[in-house]
Amino acid sequence: MNISIKNIVSALSLSLDLTDNDWGKFEDVINPTHAKDISNKQFSNHSRCTSYIALEIAQTMKLDENSYYNLYIACMIHDIGTQNIFDESHTSKWYIKKHCIAGSEMIQRIPSLIQVYDIIRYHHENYDGSGCLKLKSSLIPIEAQILRIADLIEIQVDYSKPYHIQKDILIDWVKLHNETLFSPQVVKAFLVVADKEEFWLNLINLPNMNFILDNIIPEKDIFISLSEFEAIADVFASIIDNKSSFTAEHSKEIATLAYNVSKHLGYTEEKCLKMKIAGLLHDIGKLAIPISILDKDGPLTEEEYSIIKSHTYYTKLILDKIDHISDISLWASSHHEKLNGKGYPRRLKAEDLSEECRIIGVCDIYQSLTADRPYRKGMYMYEAFNILDDMVNRNLICGNAVRHFKNTLVSGVEKKP
């Protein structure tokens, strides 16, 4: 199986943009008055719009094919480090530094993306050396310099207003920071781009941004194997689980359970690996759910429960963007469906739910019951088995899936994939 890196980063950028973001990472350069407006900004298009700005600049600078490709990949996932430090201060230069270091360390865990390590690590560096890691001028990778200016321009665009009333303000702001935040070479290229009405009209055309971006993304692509995709899924499982204090290791433990049950059933190694990846990514849609709801200490309101249920919808929305993994997407996003048709988000019934979907659902329930949470101790194995049996009797989950699951655990199958 060959999976496109461009497909993957497009999907993952959506998951990052859907996450609660914070303008605090820009406080080193944005004035306090403007920062108040930015704090209310919707970030759901941030990666794509930043990529568009960066690629327009890169085309003007005539970057070579590899640099252009690496810039695009880095732009789409440049905020990966933000997502792993939700509980830290978002209003200090320390946070900005942590954001860059955390992001590059995650990239280091993904061999197929290692070429963007330096771009992610140094994308908050300033040309004059005043950035968080103190790199200066030509020591900063050119791709990181371009990402820096694109990132800061995008964050200040008000998509609710016509471009002509903000264009000159943004151009003047860039000129003001020439040779301090930005290199003269990059500023010169931006000014060429910014002189074109088409650039601004494209930038504020959010409904068509996917189409606009598709016209300038690199032709080059890299294809990776299922096992290489697993490395990416593992990193995102860490991001997912770290978002809430209630879900430490949740996705990784479900992945292990799903893999072990699959081995017990005699699935092929490729299918076992797919089940593991489905477990790793089953909750990626939770990145779209506010932390205030995920970490609420007490019962959810009806509205909050509706919001949290939407995470399975977002899981499918994100994973469906990746070609050749439709089976993984279906298994991952169906873990809250029930045999009686009263699950969510698609109200699937027994005849619609494959064995794989049923197994992931059982793994999810069991892990949730047995995991320690801040507000309670996890159940013992046989206590959780009793809950699963009761759910089988109520026609909520599959008896065969529960039987296979229990046999796997009781037989001591503890293969670590």
Task: Give every CB contact of residue 381 below 8 A, 6+ residues apart in sequence.
Answer: 370, 409
The structural domains of the chain, with segments of one domain joined by +, span 3-214, 226-410
Pair 372, 355: CB distance under 8 Å: no
How many angstroms separate the CA atoms of 305 and 169, rounded? Answer: 43
CATH 1.10.3210.10 is right for the domain spanning 3-214:
yes
pLDDT in tens, the chain (417 residues): 799 999 999 999 999 888 855 444 455 554 433 443 433 445 579 999 999 999 999 999 999 999 999 999 999 999 998 765 544 433 467 778 888 999 999 999 999 999 999 999 999 999 999 999 999 999 999 999 999 999 999 999 999 999 999 999 999 999 999 999 999 999 999 999 999 999 999 999 999 999 999 999 999 999 999 999 999 999 999 999 888 767 778 999 999 999 999 999 999 999 999 999 999 999 999 999 988 888 887 889 999 999 999 999 999 999 999 999 999 999 999 999 999 999 999 999 999 999 999 999 999 999 999 988 766 788 999 999 999 999 999 999 999 999 999 999 998 744 444
Burial of 80 (0-12, 13-18, 19+ CB in 10 A): buried
Burial classification of residue 209, based on how many CB atoms lie within 10 Å of its CB (0-12 exposed, 13-18 middle, 19 or more buried):
middle
What CATH number has the domain spanning 226-410? 1.10.3210.10
In DSSP notation, 6-68 reads: HHHHHHHHHHHHHS---GGGGTTTS-HHHHHHHTT---TTHHHHHHHHHHHHHHHHT--HHHH
Residue 30's contacts (CB-CB under 8 Å, 6 or more residues apart) are: 23, 38, 152, 155, 156
pTM of the model: 0.90
Quick check: bond before 345 cis, omega within 30?
A: yes
**Cα–Cα–Cα angle for 185, 187, 113, rounded to 5 degrees:** 75
